[in-house]
Each structure stands twice: as C-alpha cells, then as structure tokens.
Structure 1
Amino acid sequence: MADKKQSGLGVWVNQHIMPPIMKFVNTKAITALQNGMVYSLPFIIIGSIFLILGNIPIPAVANAINNSSWGAVFAQANNTTFQMMGLWAAIGIAYVYVKNENYEPLAPGLTSAAFLMLQNLSIDNPLKAALTAGINNGAMSGKVVTENIDKLPHALQAFLESPVTGVINTKWMGGDGMIAAIIVGLLVGWIYTMIMKAGWTIKMPAQVPPAVSNQFTAMIPSGVILTGSMLIYGGFNAFAHTDFLNWIYNTL
C-alpha cells in the first residue's frame, strides 16, 4: 500500500512538478548562468588555496608567514583570483549565452567587463577610514575626529573628504558584486544576441581574415552595450549619487 502511495506521488510529481521546473532550468538565461559560472571555478579553487596558505590555523605558522613577505604574496594571489570571481562570472555568463546562440562568443564575454564601467572608480580616503577606527591610542576616538572635521584647516578638510580616484574598488569584484555580475552577464549576452539577430553589424569582405572580420562584426553590438553602460553609470551618478553596483547591493 505504501509502495502504491509512493508510486502515485512520484507519478504526480513527474507529471505536474518536474515539467515546469525543467522548462525553467533549460531556459537560455539559466543555462548560461549555470554553465558560465563554471568558468570562474578554477580561480575560486586556486584562490582558496592561497587564502588558506595565508591564514593557516596554527598561530606560530600564521605569525611566521605574516611577519615574512609571503603573507603579502599569498594575499596578492588570493585578491587577483578568488576575490575577482564576480568579474570572471560576468565574463563567463555572457560568453556561454552568446555561444549557445551560435555566435562568436569571445567579444561579448570581454564586453561584459562593462561591469567595471558601472562602478565609481574611487574609494574613500584611507586616512579618513583610519581616523574612524580611532587615533592617539584611543584617547580620541575616530568618531569624535570625523564629527569635528569642519574645525580643521580647510586644506586638511578637503584632503580628508576627497576620495582616492582612478582605482577599481575590488570589493565589487568578489561576492559583494556577484548579483550585479550575474545581471550584467545575462544582459550583455541577451542584448548582444538581439543586435546580432537584427543584423546591426559591420560586414567585411570575404578576403579579410576571420580574426579581423569577427572584431568588426562585434563592434556595433559591443559599442551599443558599452555606451548603454556609460549612460547607466551617468544616470546613477547624477540622480541617485551612487553607482549601479552599490545600488544593486543595497537594494537586494
């Protein structure tokens, strides 16, 4: 009797639950997401090894590593592999999406580096951050200092308040920026495919080598995506006083 109930439940699940689930799993977006994320796997695994080497849970060994130059070396390796997984994911997702549509995928994969264009290329002044943590051996807290910045000389105020520009904020390259990376990767893949299907491309003569011809073919789709990314950045900067990656993180 129990076997019949289980069999009946299995049939019902296979008939009513599995079809819509499989239909969703096999959509272009989900296929690109699951297969595109795999491209970041080597960086995640190798970067995790460097992370472990830089933080071995044996105090004597950990102190020896941190006191030597190897601590900084392991941190460098981890920061440029594991901590960049959001960027690798965005590239991989766009690559797989366009590849599954039977178009040359490398150009759209690289175009998804528009992920970088959507963030403010600046970080808070590190001196201000240090003051927030406290100064003078705790005699005056950082909070007190920052609340009284307006009493400092104007030149010093301007220095503390001005961010460091021309840098990539690696905070958004890792887990904090993963949701935005997924959105960017899927949108780049979808928009690129739509433009290619519409035929908005530069066609070169047959005598032109494929390596050159493919880049001219990708020029208009990539240009549209990069221009759109620039306008999105400008809109968030002007009206929301933030950037797209910050907005996604704080909203979701």
Structure 2
Amino acid sequence: MNNLVAKIEKMKPFFEKVSRNKYLKAIRDGFMSAMPVVLFSSIFMLIAYVPNIFGYYWPANIESMILKPYNYSMGILAVLVAGSTAKNLADSFNRELPINRQINNISTFMAGVVGLLLIAADPIKEGFASGYMGSKGLLSAFFVAFFVCNVYKFCVKRDITIHMPKEVPPNISQTFADVIPFAISILLLALFDIVFRDLVGINFAAAVIEFFKPLFTAADGYLGLAIIYGAMAMFWFVGIQGPSIVEPAVSAIYYVNIANNLGLYQAGEHANNILTPGVQQFVATLGGTGATLVVTLMFAFMAKSKELKAVGRASSIPVLFGVNEPILFGAPLILNPIFFIPFIGAPILNVWLFKAFVDFLGMNSFMYILPWTCPAPLGIVLGCGISLLSLLFAVLVLVIDFIVYYPFFKVYDKEKCEEEALKDQEETATEETEESVEVSGDVVDGKRVLVLCAGGGTSGLLANALAKGAEEKGIKMTTAAGSYGAHYDMLKDFDLVVLAPQVANYYQDLKIDTDRLGIKSVACQGKQYIALTRDPEKALEFVFSILNGESEEQ
C-alpha cells in the first residue's frame, strides 16, 4: 500500500499542472461566479414544488409568479456563465501579457453573452426561444467563452485595434480599442451559426446536447460514476483539490440532469438522472471528499488515541457542513496509506448505492439544488423530494460508510495509541520549544488579510482565528474569507492574501497577481494551516512574520 501511495504521489506535479490549466480554471471560476444565481433561484423552485409532496398545489397564477425569478435567473444560466467564463479566462490570459497591453475582461464578458445568444437562440414571432439559455446551453457557453477570449488574445498580442490620439481619455480609448476584437468575435460566430444551421438544421447548442447524450448516459452508469468520484477522491488523497480537475468536465452534465429530473417529476415521471450537484455534495462527498462524516465521528467518540479524539471533536462541526479540511490535514487522511482504500472506496460505494435506490427501488434522484454547506443527510432528503426512501437511504449510506471505514480506523487508532505510549509529549514539546514571535502592532495594525480556499468554507476558519487573535491583542485588523477564482476584483483591497492548502498549487498564479498590485501572498500547507486555525495567537504571529518579511511559505 505504501508503494502504491508513493507512486501516486509521484504523479502529483502532473495533477497540479492539470488543475492549473487555464481552460479548466475558467470553467470552474465561471461557475463559481454564477453560484449565487443558482442558489437564489433554487429557493423559488423549492417554494413552488416542495408543497406538492404533501398534496398541496399552488394555483397556476401563483405558481407562475413564484417561478418568474427562477426563469429569469437559472433560466439564463448559460448566458451568465458564457460571460463569467470568458471574463475569468481573459484574466488568466492577462497574466502572460504585458501590463500595458491587457485584454478588457468586461468586453470579453459581453462578447461571450452576445456570442451565446447567436448560436443558441432560435427566433420566434415575438423575440427568441430561451430553451438553451439555461443549463442546456452550458457546453455551448464554454465553447463561446474559449473562442471569444482567443480572438481577443490574438488581436491584443498583435495590436489589432483602433488607435486614438493621445489626447483622448484612456476610458474612451479603451472603448474603441475593444471594437475590433468584439466585432471579429461576433461576426465569426454569426457566420458559423448561419453555416451550421444550414448544414445541420438545428442550432449549435441543440446539436451539442444531442452529440453528447451518449456520454451523459455512460457517465450515469456504474463505471462512469466510479471513475468520476473515484478520481475526485484520488486527487484529493495526494493533496490536489479533486473537483478542480474533475468537476469542469461534468458540470454541464450536472445542471442538464437536474433540470431534466425536475421536468420528469413535474410530469409525474421518475426522476432518474444520477449525475447532479447533489450527488457530489451530499452522497459522494458525505461530509467532504472521501465521505468523511462517519470517520470524523469515529475519531471524536470512539478513538482511544488522545490526538485522534481531539482532531475528531474539533472537526465534527465543520465536517457536518461539508468543510472537512480539518480532518483531512489534521488526522491526516490524505497521503495516509491506512486510509487509501476507504477514502477512494466509500464515495464510489455511496454513489452506487444511490443509483441502486433510484434504479431498483424507484427513489427520485436530486431535483433541487441546495447550498453545499447544507448538512449532508438533510441535503439528501430535501434534494430528493422528502420521501421515505430518501430518508432510508440517508441512514443506510451512513451505515455503509461506517462499515467501510471502521477496520481502517481501528488500525490507525491502535497505531496512534502506540505512538503516544512511546513518546507521549513529543509533538507538544516540539511546539512548546518553538520561539514565540513578538507581534508588533505597528506592523499588523490596520492591515487587511484575505484568506482563500476552494469554496469559501475552510478559509473562514483561519479568517475567524485571525480576527479573534487581533481582538484579543487590541489590534485593528480586517479579515475576510473567499473562494479562489472569485477573488480577482478583491485583491486590490487587501495587504496580504493567504491560500488554504487545497488551493496552494495555485500560488504561482496568485503571486503574479499580487506582485503586480504590490501586496504580499502566502500559501499554507496541511497541518500548518489546521494548527493556525486552532490557535488565534499563532495565526496572528504567522501573519506578522509574513507582513514583516521574516518568512514566506510556498
């Protein structure tokens, strides 16, 4: 097992390179930007249709009023994602371009929106059909975003633009500078749309859905599910944020499937599409990647090891809400050969059991989108329509995870107890002998610190610890937590940016941005980060050492 883990770890640089791919990052960050829209709109879907479960149906006019915010938010998701993906890809391209020759990301956003409308909308008598403006148009949205940004990059690098006299204000000059790349992008897409419709007979977005239907079906099978969620867990096991690699490839399928599931349910049919956001958030990653909710509770209430018991109790609440970095790095679970099999196997068994419930017992799959921080068992019941079968599944999947993890937990607990018996205080003694850093209020007073992670959950742990440490010492410090990918416009407002472990592999990209702004940045590693979240004073000392130029972690 150690040899297998070592071989996988050797591939870590390759995995990191894949996770930093500009196009994958643009898709992920584009979705991240649109998540407030997704979560907001889903509230109205829940209000409209959850009462149906209990036999109550809104009058048609009331239902129409409730669904209007949904139709004009989630209903144009592809339009928004085309723009946000184009903007984020433009930001990535700009890191490689001279500071005085940058792509206007707002212009690419608008070109992405217009471009998608061109290739995905069908004209009707009074306006245009919006059937592919929502989740069904997501694949086309990515295509448009990539195309538009590459046209802009081509034009900007070769200075193909309208040059205005020096006397013209910069904001007006920029408007004219964007005319040519915008025009080329849209005219080429318009020409493509004309030719494609003439040859195929339908719009591009509709053709893409038809073309990828076999892939959607294959991905919903037992083998496809095992590959997708096994890969997510394996990447995380070696310290790479798994969804950053896998999710961009399946995100479009997620949202097409969940829209189809709701449509099937409304038509009185069986909602049977498996790959949805809820399956990832509440089934495969029950308590976080690796399905760690059960193992956290084992540590907290069954471990004989003092260290594991402390880690479990400290991690239980965050893991319940899907933030499992405290146990991933605190136990640790990642790169721990003992937990390799259950960490990869539990998510796969979870989704297989879910598919069996849907296929053979008739349980509805996920029809509603819920915040990823919703406690997983509750998310399963609510997302699948509050049925007896969903409640039974939520209980049974916890039992399955317990059975999978228990023997490996016992081995690790015994190992840790033996370590504690031989050198009971070694780690504590090492920490106690570390030289304490005297925090100077002049260095940190008034500073603004931004902590970034993958989804905004883990970063909040350190941001809160820093705020508490500053308050205890009477230091004025502003701390904020955010998600990597939705941070570009925030950077200028902070003095230091800290990357949590799961996004530490993006440090080189972040450093390019922070160096341009003249601010400091740092990436934390596993146990170091978890230790800082638990010790406000140490967290403050860490920030002081970075701001004071004494050290810089990478």
Give the match for residue 30 of structure 1.
24
Instruction: Name the SS of the counterpart of 1:202 in structure 2.
Output: coil
Among 7, 10, 16, the residue aligned to 1:12: 7
The gaps in structure 2 that reach 5 residues or longer are 95-102, 213-554
Give the match for residue 57 of structure 1.
51
8 Å CA contact retained: 1:180, 1:249: no
User: What letter corresponds to residue 197 of structure 2 in structure 1?
Assistant: N
CA displacement, residues 101-147 of structure 1 (integer Å, 9 cap, x when unaligned): 2322000111012100113533xxxxxxxxxxxxxxxxxxxxxxxxx
Give the match for residue 129 of structure 1.
none
8 Å CA contact retained: 1:50, 1:77: yes
Among 221, 224, 234, the residue aligned to 2:184: 224
Give the match for residue 475 of structure 2.
none
Q: 1: distance between equivalents of 2:119 and 2:160?
A: 24
Does 1:98 pair with 2:93?
A: no
CA displacement, residues 45-75 of structure 1 (integer Å, 9 cap, x when unaligned): 0000111112133567842x335x4321221
After superposition, the Cα gap between the structure-2 partners of 1:206 and 1:53, relative to the gap in structure 1 and judged at 3 Å, is farther
Among 39, 43, 47, the residue aligned to 2:41: 47
8 Å CA contact retained: 1:93, 1:189: no
Q: What does 1:79-158 correspond to in 2, within 5 Å? A: 79-102=71-94, 103-113=103-113, 114-122=115-123
Q: 1: distance between equivalents of 2:179 and 2:29?
A: 25
Q: 1: distance between equivalents of 2:52 and 2:125?
A: 38
Give the match for residue 125 of structure 2.
165
Give the match for residue 72 of structure 1.
64
1:165, distance to aligned residue in structure 2 (A): 3.2
After superposition, the Cα gap between the structure-2 partners of 1:12 and 1:215, relative to the gap in structure 1 and judged at 3 Å, is same
1:9, distance to aligned residue in structure 2 (A): 2.5
Does 1:235 pair with 2:195?
A: yes
Give the match for residue 250 of structure 1.
210
Q: 2: distance between equivalents of 1:58 and 1:226?
A: 44
State percent identity of aligned pairs: 19
Q: 1: distance between equivalents of 2:121 and 2:137?
A: 13
8 Å CA contact retained: 2:82, 2:112: yes
Q: Single out whichever of 209-218 and 76-85 deviates more from structure 2.
A: 209-218
1:87, distance to aligned residue in structure 2 (A): 1.1
User: What letter corresponds to residue 88 of structure 2 in structure 1?
Assistant: V
Give the match for residue 419 of structure 2.
none
Q: 2: distance between equivalents of 1:236 and 1:115?
A: 14
Does 1:215 pair with 2:175?
A: yes
Q: 2: distance between equivalents of 1:66 and 1:201?
A: 56
Instruction: Name the SS of the counterpart of 1:173 in structure 2.
Output: coil
Q: TM-score, normalised by structure 1?
A: 0.74
Q: TM-score, normalised by structure 2?
A: 0.35
Give the match for residue 144 of structure 1.
none
1:172, distance to aligned residue in structure 2 (A): 0.4
Q: 1: distance between equivalents of 2:192 and 2:109?
A: 19
Aligned residues: 203
8 Å CA contact retained: 1:118, 1:230: yes
Q: 2: distance between equivalents of 1:231 and 1:62?
A: 50
Give the match for residue 181 of structure 1.
141
8 Å CA contact retained: 2:90, 2:108: yes
Q: 2: distance between equivalents of 1:78 and 1:213?
A: 38
Instruction: Name the SS of the counterpart of 1:208 in structure 2.
Output: coil
Among 184, 190, 197, the residue aligned to 2:150: 190
User: What letter corresponds to residue 41 of structure 2 in structure 1?
Assistant: G
Q: 2: distance between equivalents of 1:94 and 1:11?
A: 38
The gaps in structure 1 that reach 5 residues or longer are 123-163
Q: Single out whichever of 219-228 and 24-33 deviates more from structure 2.
A: 24-33
Q: 1: distance between equivalents of 2:81 and 2:182?
A: 18
Q: 2: distance between equivalents of 1:175 and 1:115?
A: 13
CA displacement, residues 213-245 of structure 1 (integer Å, 9 cap, x when unaligned): 221111100100000011011101222222211
8 Å CA contact retained: 1:40, 1:85: yes
1:35, distance to aligned residue in structure 2 (A): 0.9
User: What letter corresponds to residue 48 of structure 2 in structure 1?
Assistant: G
Q: 1: distance between equivalents of 2:199 and 2:150?
A: 27
RMSD: 1.9
Q: 1: distance between equivalents of 2:65 and 2:39?
A: 17
Q: 2: distance between equivalents of 1:61 and 1:72?
A: 18
8 Å CA contact retained: 1:118, 1:243: yes
Q: 2: distance between equivalents of 1:223 and 1:166?
A: 26
1:91, distance to aligned residue in structure 2 (A): 0.5
More helix by share: 1
Runs of 4+ in structure 1 off by over 3 angstroms are 58-62
